[in-house]
């Protein structure tokens, strides 16, 4: 029987700043390359189906941030450990990851937390960025829902702030992130939220998310800088957005066109994890974008 045309993925660790960082990779050097930056509370497994769909023609690389997925999760400085869970620090590690893998040019797929990580990388290394695929990754004030504004207002300086964050780290909340706003709940496999919650429930992992929630305001403060970067560099950009996202509302998708008038924009009648429901159409759009953009 002939072999099916399915890409062979590899799953490896690389050491960055003394941490073992897990990543998934498929494709061959020289192929159009895309770095997949995951969101909250997920990890590189959120891209597993996209990797299968596109990995034969393109090189796709998806790391887990420190404190997420299969990567090391050192104790937080907030609990007496030695690692500071801030978005700046996550970007430091992913920058080192790119240097270890000699990734000097790629399209960055940024989703949710991948937005602030990816935009920090772009600001540090504009020469690395061949283009952007932006999927429900906000960079504009108008894209923040009231829920998102409320969480971003927490600093950990008021009693009860940590408890408010922890209410978003339960199985019910994680499941809700996948199902809120979708058109067909039966199309959403439980694998994603089940694995996400498994990692969240590991010792120390909830504190990681509390620390990052208290740091989220630093991303909003950088929105004007990132918007200026987009205006200056005009990277080819494909914006894909689940319009029923309860965190990052549709206005945030349209806002990219203000600074990137040539950006391609496609909206989907789904929620935050749009790939879960709309992978076939989104994969086709991403493939076309990579073909047009890579040179």
Q: Which of 125, 254, 272, 295 is catalytic?
A: 272
The phi-psi region of residue 80 (left if phi > 0; otherwise alpha if psi is between -120 and 50; otherwise beta) is left
Q: How far is CA 135 from the centre of its chain?
A: 8
Alpha-carbon distance values, 201 to 17, 100, 169, 195, 273 (Å): 25, 30, 9, 10, 21
- In terms of DSSP bridges, do strands 59-63 and 106-111 run parallel, antiparallel, or are they unpaired? unpaired
Tokens of 285: 């759009």
Which residues sit opposite 23 in a β-bridge?
12, 63
Nearest-angstrom CA–CA distance, 139 and 235? 15
Tokens of 218: 């630093």
Q: Return the exposure string of 92-119: e unless at least 16 CB atoms fall within 10 Å of the residue's CB, then b.
A: bbbbbbbeebebeebbbbbbbbbbbbbb
Alpha-carbon distance values, 84 to 31, 198, 215, 230 (Å): 35, 22, 10, 28
Is residue 217 annotated as part of the catalytic site, yes or no? no
- For 261, residues 6+ apart whose C-beta sits below 8 A from its C-beta are none
Nearest-angstrom CA–CA distance, 54 and 144? 31
The position carrying tokens 């990797």 is: 51
Q: Which residues are catalytic?
A: 272
């Amino acid at each position: 029987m002939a072999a099916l045309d399915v890409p062979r993925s590899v799953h490896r660790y690389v050491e960055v700043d003394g941490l073992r960082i897990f990543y998934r990779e498929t494709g061959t050097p020289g192929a159009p390359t895309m770095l997949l930056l995951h969101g909250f509370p997920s990890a590189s497994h959120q891209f597993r189906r996209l990797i299968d769909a596109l990995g034969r023609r393109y090189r796709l690389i998806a790391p887990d941030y420190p404190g997420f997925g299969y990567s090391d999760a050192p104790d937080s400085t907030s609990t007496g450990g030695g690692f500071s869970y801030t978005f700046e620090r996550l970007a430091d590690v992913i920058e080192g990851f790119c240097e270890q893998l000699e990734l000097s040019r790629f399209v960055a797929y940024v989703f949710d937390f991948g937005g602030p990580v990816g935009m920090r990388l772009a600001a540090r290394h504009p020469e690395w960025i061949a283009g952007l695929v932006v999927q429900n990754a906000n960079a504009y004030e108008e894209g923040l829902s009231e829920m998102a504004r409320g969480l971003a207002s927490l600093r950990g300086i008021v009693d009860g702030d940590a408890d408010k964050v922890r209410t978003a780290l339960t199985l019910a909340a994680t499941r809700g992130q996948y199902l809120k706003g979708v058109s067909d709940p039966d199309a959403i496999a439980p694998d994603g939220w089940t694995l996400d919650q498994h990692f969240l429930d590991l010792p120390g992992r909830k504190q990681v998310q509390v620390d990052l929630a208290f740091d989220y305001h630093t991303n909003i403060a950088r929105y004007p800088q990132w918007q200026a970067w987009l205006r200056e560099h005009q990277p080819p950009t494909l914006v894909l957005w689940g319009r029923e996202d309860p965190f990052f509302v549709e206005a945030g998708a349209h806002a990219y066109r203000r600074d990137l008038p040539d950006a391609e924009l496609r909206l989907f009648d789904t929620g935050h994890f749009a790939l879960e429901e709309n992978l076939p159409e989104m994969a086709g759009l991403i493939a076309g974008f990579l073909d047009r953009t890579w040179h």
